[in-house]
Amino acid sequence: MAEPSPNIAGSDTRVSPSIGGIAVAEGRSAELEALRLLEDAFGAFDRIAVSFSGAEDVVLVDLGARILGSDLPVFSLDTGRLHPQTHRFMETVRDHYGVAIETLAPDPDELVDLVRDKGLFSFYRDGHGECCAIRKIEPLGRKLRELDAWITGQRADQSVTREGLPTSQDDLAFSSADHPVKKFNPLANWSGRDVWDYIRRREIPYNPLHDQGYRSIGCEPCTRPVGPHQHEREGRWWWENVADKECGLHAQNVAEPLRIIDR
């Protein structure tokens, strides 16, 4: 089970010796593995970017910034339904790391049609698939047409749909015959405790919603706090089956991969 949020104040490797050596000396093998993977990914692909959700995956931004500094390419999906705290946290991250975060928005015409035909809360009745497709999957697919690889903050311990998650994979959902897309998951083997230990030790900013019991943060209507003995993903789409708790950004986690974006 993932670690609840804390109250925080304020070797031989290609990773910089000052970074890699300290990680090895302190026994932080997961951290070193993530840094190595990121360095390899940045070295292999020019058209690559980090996907940042505005939650505890800020760890991914911190790791990437240790390698590329303010040149780290970052994008985020603004669904139009995020918490105000998440928007403010995004600005905190921009200022803290000096990075430019590209904001991706849904197609306005599709959004207008959805709200006109089904209202603002159709996902409670019909499931979250259609809403997530418009607010998340389409903007991501649009962005990935510009990239050859992307980096996510997924972890294997986050849900049953992510068990066995590899640290790198071909993203079959967003690839096409003439444009393969690679996906890197540097935190795949991290636990929730690893994430929050890193945040504590590095004293990096985090979304204040974590201090209110939100252990997994998505859109405001589809996210709620969880109790101390609940799994973090129980606060997401709580009215649906546990096997359906993926928004479609990581379609390979739940079924035989389908190419969900028509190129």
- In sequence order, what are the residues at sequence separation of 6 or more whose Cβ sits closer than 8 angstroms to the Cβ of residue 218? 53, 55, 236, 247
Q: In sequence order, what are the beta bridge partners of 179?
A: 176
Ranges of the chain with pLDDT below 70 = 1-27, 159, 161-162, 239, 241-263
- Phi, psi angle pair for 77, to nearest 5°: -90, 115
Instruction: Specify the pLDDT at position 149.
Output: 99
Instruction: Specify the pLDDT at position 243.
Output: 55
Instruction: Specify the pLDDT at position 1.
Output: 35
Neighbours of 117 (CB within 10 A): 8
Query: Active-site residues: which are they?
Result: 247
R_g of the chain computed on alpha carbons = 18
Domains of the chain: 17-253 (3.40.50.620)
Instruction: Specify the pLDDT at position 199.
Output: 96
- The answer to whether residues 58 and 93 touch, using CB atoms and an 8 Å cutoff, is yes
Position of tokens 């910089």? 16
How far is residue 138 from each of residues 144, 235, 251, 254, 263, measured CA to CA in Å? 10, 24, 13, 18, 11
- The answer to whether residues 44 and 255 touch, using CB atoms and an 8 Å cutoff, is no
Nearest to 63 by CA among 92, 46, 40, 79: 40
Neighbours of 116 (CB within 10 A): 8
Q: State the SS3 of the chain.
A: CCCCCCCCCCCCCCCCHHHHHHHHHCCCHHHHHHHHHHHHHHHHCCCEEEECCCCCCHHHHHHHHHHHHHHCCEEEECCCCECHHHHHHHHHHHHHHCCCEEEECCCHHHHHHHHHHHCCCHHHHHCCHHHHHHHHHHHHHHHHCCCCEEECCCCHHHCHHHCCCCCEEECCCCCECCECCEEECCCCCCCHHHHHHHHHHHCCCCCHHHHHCCCCCCEHHHECCCCCCCCHHHHECCCCCHHHCCCCCCHHHCCCCCCCCCC
- The answer to whether residues 209 and 179 touch, using CB atoms and an 8 Å cutoff, is no
Instruction: Specify the pLDDT at position 14.
Output: 54
Instruction: Specify the pLDDT at position 244.
Output: 56
